[in-house]
Structure 1
Amino acid sequence: MGAPVASESVETATSAGFEYIFPAIRGIQAGREFYVSMCPLRLIPKIFLYDEDELAPEVRAQRTLNKGRLPALTRYIVNNPNDYVFSALTASVDGDIHFEGIADRGVAMRVGQIRISMAARFLINDGQHRRAAIEQALKENPDLGEETIAVVFFQDSGLARCQQMFADLNRHAVRPPRSIGLLYDHRDDLAAAVRLVTMRASVFKGYVEMESSTLSQRSRKLFTLSSVYYATQSLLQGLKISKDQAHELAEAYWTAIDSEIPEWQMVRRRQLSAQEVRRDYLHSHGIALHALGRVGNSLLRESLAPPDWAQTLTRLSLVDWSRANTDWEGRALSGGRVSKSHQHLTLTANYLRHHLELVLSAEEQRMEDAYLRGES
């Protein structure tokens, strides 16, 4: 028996017709054989299918393709040709799979090649958006076609089995918290700037939860990395500054904010616990940080020099951040609970703009008027 193909599938003619040949490793799950292989990207759009959108959900084995996700996935591949990473596709084969091992015994009997008729149907159980993004990326950069992606092949056992595979593959899939994604993201310049700020600024150093995007009731942290990121994103939005200026300006701004919020300082002096501050005040919650970022952006658009905006921020000392302050209901709070909706964020920012004597935009004024009329 000849050695299996080492790098890609090969189309070959046999007495039974044309076949695909894939290098493969054979395994067993739940008593069923499956095969782990690789496939050149140029073949992905040609042989791997997904159910047509017009089919009813009950006769499909996948969710409808969300085309809105494709531009970002495509750009990820095209913009990072030297370090993109895609996990394996999982596919069911509606047709015979013939495995040929390179040996009859021992470990080598699990290594070999699989032969699949070209008349067989390949249905993706997991990875349909990756498949579609690969197709789009190949149109922009055909050179990617010679690269490969891992594929796990299962024998198709009918619609019910394929639907169950989709349910099982996605049942326990958990998207990682946004905070840890930002912590590990080295492509995002803003994420890098925010990480630097959280390590250098006294207001954040040691008090930012770097992994989870939520804080447990007993957490000793005041903020999450994701909330600091989104607040800083709003703060620096539209400003024409360098990477170095970004973290320096952000550090200066949040340090200025810190000087106007005594409770944050009291936590660092161990006069208050982080739990007490989060429970009784709003200023460490994501919506408050985001609103502070928004109003700060208005100030920075007028001048990047701290002396020009730091004095304005001193008026924040007049803000009653206590959750007992009834002014927050309908703004940062809804029924006594913190709300992060766009409307509540805008109304919270409006409240801060009022204290800082800043002018509202037309849209902000419209939402403020509706709130005052009791229509929010």
Structure 2
Amino acid sequence: MDTAFSYTFPALRGYQAEKEYYVVMCPLRLIPKIFLFNEEEIPAQHRAQRILNKNRVPEITNYILDNTDNYVFSSLTASIDGEMEFQPFSKEKTWGDLGRLQVSLDSRFLINDGQHRRAAIEEALKISPELGEETISVVFFADEGLKNSQQIFADLNRHAVNTTTSIGILYDHRDQLALLTKDVVSENELLVRYTDTERVNLSKNSPKLVALNHVFNTILRLVGKSKGDILDETEEKFVKEFWKVLCDSIAEWKMVFNKDISPKELRMNFIVGHGVFLEAVGLVGKAAYEQDPDNWQNYIRSLNKIDWSRTNVKDWEGRAFSQKGRIQKTNLTIQLTANLIKEKVGLKLSESDQKAERKFKEAKNNAK
């Protein structure tokens, strides 16, 4: 190989399935120049991986730019279609797999895994070109054709398991709303004992009362924010006080805390043991604060007068649960559940609330 017309990477050689592969350190500035991914117009059967989801790229780009001193990326995986040669630094067996990888300049580098990271790196470099000297690890395989590249993608993703939303919140030390959620839980004696920090859906036998993502989603509803948004001190104070008042106002939660009933019994018999209630009451809290900022606590305290039992079909059927008694949590059922709670505690319904109510009642009448 003509070394004057080649890329040279420091590399570590490894073996899998009796084939060589290489791990190299690649400067970020080279990523957009040499790594390709399949264009969208190519049919799926002729691509090596999925279509680039352009909606994901800005989020990853912002992650890099907002955390230039401590961002973390896992390795890219790519296939090389072209001439390459590994040159070990030493003939000693111990060091024989440490060396340099030379790849001809006319080679094609096809990303098998990491196309969204590659696109985000390209966008980040446009704004912060100084990042170009930093590196990312890349795992190189020799390209053996489209079929093999597709198999690499399938194998890499075969056993991939996404972390739960709750785990994501628990381990997120950047997002203000995630941090606030953990503060709310840790500062509340009921929540700290009965919040599951790993799961997003509690099993019927779970000893916990709520999941961490339930608390997080309720806070989003309460302040009308999205993940990544910033809260001011007043909003943070409101959120923490809301949870304190709420936990003091739900008699069934107190029964769990005092061990009069179990979380399992709560879920079986009351809607207050489910995410649809929590997010709905977040909307109620938001409406109470907006309509009566000086006395919003009184509306939340009024929740202790409501019949939350699942036998209360008249109130909650079609809202918190279906005709078959199955709990249902969608944006619509959350809104419908919140609407009835608002009416019961004396809050006004917004125009969108009233529209949803009209449709709900029309559908109910038509079903008779």
User: Is the TM-score greater than 0.5?
Assistant: yes
Do residues 283 (structure 1) and 275 (structure 2) align?
Answer: no
Residue in structure 1 matched with residue 232 of structure 2 by the alignment:
242
Runs of 4+ in 1 over 3 A off after TM superposition: 14-17, 238-243, 245-248, 302-305
The change in CA–CA distance for 1:246 and 1:122 in structure 2 (over 3 A counts) is: same
Give the SS at the match of 2:272. coil
Percentage of identical aligned residues: 44
Structure 2, unmatched stretches of 5+, are none
1:126-275 alignment, distance < 5 Å: 126-237=113-224, 242-243=232-233, 245-275=234-264
Q: What is the aligned partner in structure 2 of residue 332 from structure 1?
A: 320
**Residue deviations 1:334-356, cap 9 Å, x none?**
34222221111111111111112
Q: Secondary structure at the match of 1:259?
A: helix
Deviation digits for residues 228-283 of structure 1 (CA, Å, limit 9, x no counterpart)? 0110122123699634x444432321222223321111111111011110122111
Write the distance in 2 (CA, Å) between the matches of 1:273 and 1:19: 68
Match of 2:9 among 14, 22, 39: 22
Deviates more, 1:197-206 or 1:85-94: 197-206
Matched residue type, 2:247: D
Pairing 1:125–2:112 present: yes
1:58 aligns with 2:48: no
Give the direction of change, closer, same or farther, for the CA distance of 1:80–1:45 in structure 2 (3 Å limit): same
* CA pair 94-241 structure 1, distance change in 2 beyond 3 A: closer
Alignment of 1:82-121 (within 5 A): 82-121=69-108
- Asked whether the equivalents of residues 203 and 254 of structure 1 are also in contact (C-alpha less than 8 Å), the reply is no
Give the distance between the partners of 2:4 and 2:90, measured in 1 at CA.
26
Q: Indicate if the aligned counterparts of 1:196 and 1:247 stay in contact, CA closer than 8 A.
A: no
Letter in 2 for 1:330: G
Give unpaired runs (5+ residues) of structure 1.
1-13
Over residues 185-206 of structure 1, what are the superposed CA-to-partner deviations in whole Å (9 max), with x where a residue is unaligned? 1111121122111111233121
How far, CA to CA, are the matches of 1:363 and 1:303 in structure 2? Answer: 19
Counterpart-to-counterpart distance in 2, 1:100 and 1:240: 51
Higher helix residue share: 2
- After alignment, is 233-242 or 287-296 more displaced? 233-242
Q: 1:357 maps to what in 2?
A: 346
**Number of residues paired by the alignment?**
360
- Give RMSD over aligned pairs: 1.9
User: 1:263 and 1:236 mapped to 2: Cα distance?
Assistant: 25
TM norm structure 1 = 0.91
Matched, 1:367 2:359: no
User: What does residue 42 of structure 1 align with?
Assistant: 29
- Residue 193 of structure 1 contacts residue 246 of structure 1 at CA under 8 Å; is this kept in 2? no
Structure 1 residue 174: deviation in Å?
1.1
Residue identity opposite 1:20 in structure 2: Y
Paired residues of 1:45 and 1:134 also in contact (CA < 8 A) = yes
Q: Secondary structure at the match of 2:256?
A: helix
Q: Cα distance, 1:303 vs. partner?
A: 4.8
1:293 to 276, 282, 292: 282
The CA distance in 2 between the partners of 1:133 and 1:255, in whole Å, is 41
